[in-house]
Structure 1
Amino acid sequence: MDTTQSKGSLIKEILTGTQMLFVAFGALVLMPLLTGLDPNVALCTAGIGTLLFQLVTKGQVPVFLASSFAFIAPIMYGTQTWGIPATMGALMVVGVVYALFSGVIKLRGTDFIHKYLPPIVTGPIIMVIGLSLAPVAVNMALGKTGDASAQLVDPQVALAISLPALIATLVISAFSKGFMRLVPILGGIVVGYGISLYYGIIDFSSVAAAPWFAMPNFTAPEFHWQAIIYMLPIAIAPAIEHIGDVLAISSATGKDYLKKPGLHRTLLGDGVATTTASMLGGPPNTTYSEVTGAVMLTKAFNPRIMTWAAISAILMAFVGKLGALLQTIPPVVMGGIMMLLFGLIASVGLGSLINAKVDFEQPRNFIIFAIVLVFGIGGMALNFGGYNIQGISLCALVAILLNLVLPKEIKS
């Protein structure tokens, strides 16, 4: 009797874990497809990263780790400027920064975050991450390449595909209930892909040629100091996001994971997962809010469920035809979904300012907000001894310095 119950419980855990992977799947593969990375590698490193996170946190936190959207713009820029290996090397260093953050948190608590990275610093930076990608999303939705250098699909056909993909994502996100509300990106991809099939713009020859079993295209990292310096400030946004995710899963399960296993352990788990993923050519990992939502919906609080989700992701990574099929998703489909996605990233930054009740009657806050947005969206670049600093790196540096230098209150 006990054996039968045990087998039934195990099967239920495996099925629930596979369901959790399904929730994360759309977002998980969208990020590597946008940045030119291998989706099968992303699947594999998401699984490995989740298992490593569980090891670091002693298997106490029911979360799933996968591709972080905060790194889309930096990876796009990094791969175009220095190549994939150098970008992976820079992302490995970002994972080390997470580990350093976790060490400081363990020694000093979270006070240093409030001092150096308050919402008036992190909010505008997160907004820039989203808004700086807006032209890329629109170009792809119009059937062009991300930089608008070439027209890939007729503009009218492109809009007939990208807009329904966007609308489907919006409708599922806003009006669906229960499980469906957790998979808006996957829903948008399915709708856009179906319309793309109707217009005949998908080529399945690569799928037919791909083997059923294949090793993912792992890429070894290289280290380029300019790429590393460019990528380091990007660690700020996901680190702050991580704290919010841990608070969310704590609220869902009724357990305080900030105390046990501790924020320092969960952040270290993120860092180890990101460093390991980058060693193999995968995107940085972060805790997935979609899966946290699924945990809340299903009351599946057992962390072992995420173990099975991770194992499922690793097994799927070695299905060669799956990777080939994912890469047939037209850029125009992704462009439609990106218009919402990148706007949502910007909204998260704005929301952090609102939630923290940042006082914009203080001129210092107006100054920081204005300068960061204009520098980030306008493409400001500074040259120091032959090295250009621009984008998120420049925004982060300027925001931190202004926050430390400007007086807290300017009296008339």
Structure 2
Amino acid sequence: MQKYEGYKFGFKESLVGVQFLFVAFGALVLVPLLTGLDANVALFTAGAGTLLFQLITRKNVPPIFLASSFAFIAPISFGVKEWGIAATMGGLVFAGLFYVVLSFIVRVKGENFLHKMLPPVIVGPVIMTIGLILSPAAVNMAMGKNVTAYTQNEAMLVAGVSLVATILVMMLGRGMFRLIPILCGILVGYITSYFFGMIDFAPIMDAPWFKTPAFKTPVFELDPILYMVPIAIAPAIEHIGDMLAISNVTKENFLKNPGLKNTLLGDGIATSFAACFGGPPNTTYSEVTGAVSITKAYNPAIMTWTAITAIVLAFVGKLGAVLSTIPAPVIGGIMLLLFGIIASVGMETLVKHHVDLANPRNMIIVALIFVFAIGGMVLDFGVVSFSGIGLGAIVGIVLNLLLPRAKHYEGY
């Protein structure tokens, strides 16, 4: 399969599709493990969301897989604590609908509208705040805080082993191994934690082989809805970047056909669908795009099989039980790296687009996004309040619209 030739369904594609789920698996299950959602539900909604995406882009389906979005880890964790899972899912339904609205705006006004409303000077800092806000949670997990089953030194040792294993695979891995550093880090950390007696295998023994995932029905409340919608800005921009990446890999312009208007629509509906069942928001997975690049497996039918495999595994009760036994320091060690990488991606956005921070206008926008997003400030208007990443994004958009551009500065 040396070039993109459209959708062709066959047995060979099924074998490759199963392998691609292996590539996505580590990141896919990390989001529910960190936020208190059900990992089996996340598997189901990733698979079903990918199939919905393919249905919407059926005229020219990109070979991509949709699964749990890291951008929503902090908002989901806060939402579950503040309003409960059901109300948080209600907010995420509307976050997906925000994508849908963007897709219709693109349909009417064209793609340049998004770039004008969300330039790199906004997108970069917003992505950076996602990683920076999450970093204390990673440190707490790596240190085993609030856990009495093992010592802090044991927790940090296990976290360190998980972190080092992930880094080594990321830097030295070859072929498909280079695409699964998270999964390798989890496996090495899990084995290490076993020797420290951190794992209780009772849940695995007691779990049935077949079990319906713990689906949740959303409840719609104004506060979580208004909290979640602005946060969708960052993954929406990430979606555009991933569409560019898969277009470059396959030499097929998916921004033109099926077009950003349809891929954003598919991503948004997949996210809203996931939230309707209690799953995390979906996003396009760069790991799988990397696997497509390495294997030259451009047939989108492969992702159909990846999605079907995810749905089947969602009903394996013992898989969910195994995931529930992973000690927090294992996940925390890997998160130390991944949350830092998220912040670095935001920094790369500023650098790659040559955002001039000597320009007072740009400096003001970046500075205030950081302060409003990370500083813990809350703007309460009675009926609604804004805080965190969402508040930072809104401040950035408003400043970008209101601040005058200096005549001697062009572009960004």
Map of 2:101 onto structure 1: 100
2:49 aligned with 1:49: yes
SS in 2 for 1:358: coil
Distance 2:238 2:150 in 1: 36
User: Deviations for 1:72-111, whole angstroms, at most 9, x for unmatched residues?
Assistant: 0100000000000001111001111111100111111122
2:126 aligned with 1:114: no
Can you give the 5+ residue segments of structure 1 that lack an aligned partner in the other structure?
1-8
Map of 1:180 onto structure 2: 177
Seen in structure 2, the aligned counterparts of structure 1 residues 406 and 194 have a Cα distance that, compared at 3 Å, is same
Q: TM-score, normalised by structure 2?
A: 0.95
1:301 shift after superposition: 0.3
Percent identity of the aligned residues? Answer: 58
Residues 2-151 of structure 1 aligned to structure 2 (within 5 Å): 10-58=10-58, 60-145=61-146
| 8 Å CA contact retained: 2:142, 2:333 | yes
> Which of 323, 327, 332 is the aligned partner of 2:329?
332
Distance 1:386 1:267 in 2: 30
1:373 shift after superposition: 1.2
Map of 2:4 onto structure 1: none
Distance 1:214 1:223 in 2: 28
Distance 2:167 2:373 in 1: 27
Counterpart residue type for residue 285 of structure 1: N
Map of 1:290 onto structure 2: 287
Q: Which deviates more, 313-322 or 110-119?
A: 110-119
Seen in structure 2, the aligned counterparts of structure 1 residues 350 and 151 have a Cα distance that, compared at 3 Å, is farther
Map of 1:264 onto structure 2: 261
Root-mean-square deviation (CA, aligned residues, Å) is: 1.4
> Which of 165, 170, 184 is the aligned partner of 2:167?
170
Distance 2:108 2:383 in 1: 37
Residues 258-407 of structure 1 aligned to structure 2 (within 5 Å): 258-385=255-382, 387-407=384-404
Distance 1:400 1:40 in 2: 37
2:251 aligned with 1:254: yes
| 8 Å CA contact retained: 2:149, 2:198 | no
User: Deviations for 1:38-75, whole angstroms, at most 9, x for unmatched residues?
Assistant: 00000011000010000000062100010000000100
Distance 2:398 2:210 in 1: 51
Can you give the 5+ residue segments of structure 2 that lack an aligned partner in the other structure?
1-8
Map of 1:5 onto structure 2: none
Map of 1:3 onto structure 2: none
Q: TM-score, normalised by structure 1?
A: 0.95
Counterpart residue type for residue 33 of structure 2: L
| 8 Å CA contact retained: 1:143, 1:152 | no
1:219 shift after superposition: 0.3
Distance 1:342 1:151 in 2: 25
Distance 2:68 2:75 in 1: 13
Distance 2:253 2:14 in 1: 26
SS in 2 for 1:133: helix
Map of 2:6 onto structure 1: none
SS in 1 for 2:10: helix
| 8 Å CA contact retained: 2:111, 2:260 | no
1:11 shift after superposition: 2.9
1:377 shift after superposition: 2.1
1:114 shift after superposition: 2.1
After TM superposition, the runs of 4+ consecutive aligned structure 1 residues lying more than 6 A away are: none
Seen in structure 2, the aligned counterparts of structure 1 residues 273 and 409 have a Cα distance that, compared at 3 Å, is same
Distance 1:189 1:397 in 2: 36
| 8 Å CA contact retained: 2:226, 2:384 | no
Distance 1:345 1:220 in 2: 30
1:406 shift after superposition: 1.1
The size of the alignment, in residue pairs, is 400
| 8 Å CA contact retained: 1:362, 1:410 | no
| 8 Å CA contact retained: 2:222, 2:384 | no
SS in 1 for 2:215: coil
1:184 shift after superposition: 0.6
| 8 Å CA contact retained: 2:41, 2:215 | yes
| 8 Å CA contact retained: 1:144, 1:152 | no
Seen in structure 2, the aligned counterparts of structure 1 residues 152 and 113 have a Cα distance that, compared at 3 Å, is farther
| 8 Å CA contact retained: 2:141, 2:332 | yes
Seen in structure 2, the aligned counterparts of structure 1 residues 152 and 129 have a Cα distance that, compared at 3 Å, is farther
1:309 shift after superposition: 0.5
Counterpart residue type for residue 190 of structure 1: L
Q: Which deviates more, 368-377 or 347-356?
A: 368-377
